[in-house]
Chain A
Amino acid sequence: MKYRTPLARVRGLGSARSGSHHWWMQRLTAIALVPLSVWFVASLLMVVTADHATAIQWLRSPLVAILCSALIVALFYHAQLGIQVVIEDYVHAESAKLVSIVLVKLVSLLLAAACLFAVLSIAFAN
């Protein structure tokens, strides 16, 4: 530890330059996903075997739309953090690692936006 500068020590950000933020957000989203995913799967079992009108009616309720949006945000945040760790573990070439992590993050953002758009367009459709 004595090789670290006092500034590095007081910042506490480590070699990843982000401290424990990644770890913390993965746990935070995990905790959020426990009730959200149980609720979502349980509700989906009631809805998924029915027709389009039933699904729309379910998605249109404000509580469902809010919880679905929360699920989507937590899910994609959690997923891209997890895939980032897998890439960091198995992809060793620095450039390929950087490119794949950036791609995973951007694609996750895009897919989350698509899901949110779908949920909100159903919720706000008249």
Chain B
Amino acid sequence: MPMEKSQRPLSPHLQIYRPQLTSVLSITHRATGVALVFGTLLLVYWLLAAASGADAYASAQALLGSWLGRVVLLGFSFALFFHLCNGVRHLFWDAGLGFELKTVYASGHAVIIVSVLLTVAAWAVAYAMRGGA
């Protein structure tokens, strides 16, 4: 099908606009969602390793517990908590709640703060369980 270049005016491209909290959180929700899909591969690996036996589990633990593994897991955990918190924000919107501009910004800031706090808390608990190592 021959596509002629449309002569109609285009709306400004995305990069023209100054980033706002609302748009940044929106695309971050999508980005974290995609990242979580890749993170889920780690869950698949971990579960299969656990089912395979002690040796496979030990090497999975060693890989995930390595320096690189921990960095990936840190990103994974933040992505999870962000997507979780912002997902709850979306569910409130789906119920028709929280659409006032002030509320949208307040809930947006809350999502950032709570997801960072949850990430820090989760890692603090993990290290405490491990005995500080």
- Do A and B interact with each other, yes or no? yes
Residues on A lying within 8 angstroms of B by beta carbon are 27, 30-31, 33-34, 37-38, 41, 45-46, 48-53, 55-56, 59, 75-76, 79, 82-83, 86, 111, 114-115, 117-119, 121-122
**Given pairs A45-B122, A83-B37, A115-B47, 16 additional interface contacts (CB within 8 A):** A30-B90, A30-B91, A34-B87, A38-B84, A45-B125, A49-B126, A55-B57, A75-B40, A76-B40, A79-B36, A79-B37, A86-B33, A114-B44, A115-B44, A115-B48, A122-B50
Per the bound structure, the CA–CA distance linking A83 and B91 in Å amounts to 19
Q: Is the CB of A59 within 8 A of B40?
A: no
- A111-B30 contact in complex given A49-B129, A56-B50, C-beta closer than 8 Å: no
Closest CB in chain B relative to A29 CB, distance in Å: 10
Per the bound structure, the CA–CA distance linking A82 and B91 in Å amounts to 15
Q: Is the CB of A52 within 8 A of B33?
A: no
Per the bound structure, the CA–CA distance linking A119 and B51 in Å amounts to 7
Q: Does B100 contact A (CB under 8 A)?
A: no
Per the bound structure, the CA–CA distance linking A55 and B48 in Å amounts to 12
Q: Is the CB of A27 within 8 A of B94?
A: yes
Pull 20 A–B residue pairs with CB atoms less than 8 Å apart, ordered by A: A30-B87, A30-B90, A30-B91, A48-B61, A48-B126, A49-B126, A49-B130, A52-B50, A52-B57, A55-B57, A75-B40, A79-B40, A82-B34, A86-B30, A111-B40, A114-B44, A118-B48, A118-B50, A119-B51, A121-B51
Q: Does B43 contact A (CB under 8 A)?
A: yes
- Which residues of chain B come closer than 8 Å to A119, judged between CB atoms? 47, 51
Please encode chain B, from 54 to 93, with 1 for each CB lying within 8 Å of some chain A CB and 0 for all others.
1001100100000000000000010010001001101100
Residues on B lying within 8 angstroms of A by beta carbon are 30, 33-34, 36-37, 40-41, 43-44, 47-48, 50-51, 53-54, 57-58, 61, 77, 80, 84, 87-88, 90-91, 94, 122, 125-126, 129-130
Minimum CB distance partner of A80 in chain B? B37
- Which residues of chain A come closer than 8 Å to B44, judged between CB atoms? 111, 114-115
Closest CB in chain A relative to B56 CB, distance in Å: 9
Q: Is the CB of B47 within 8 A of A46?
A: no
Q: Is the CB of B51 within 8 A of A117?
A: yes
- Of all A-B residue pairs in the complex, the 8 with the closest CB atoms, nearest first, are A118-B51, A118-B47, A49-B130, A52-B57, A52-B54, A49-B129, A45-B125, A82-B33
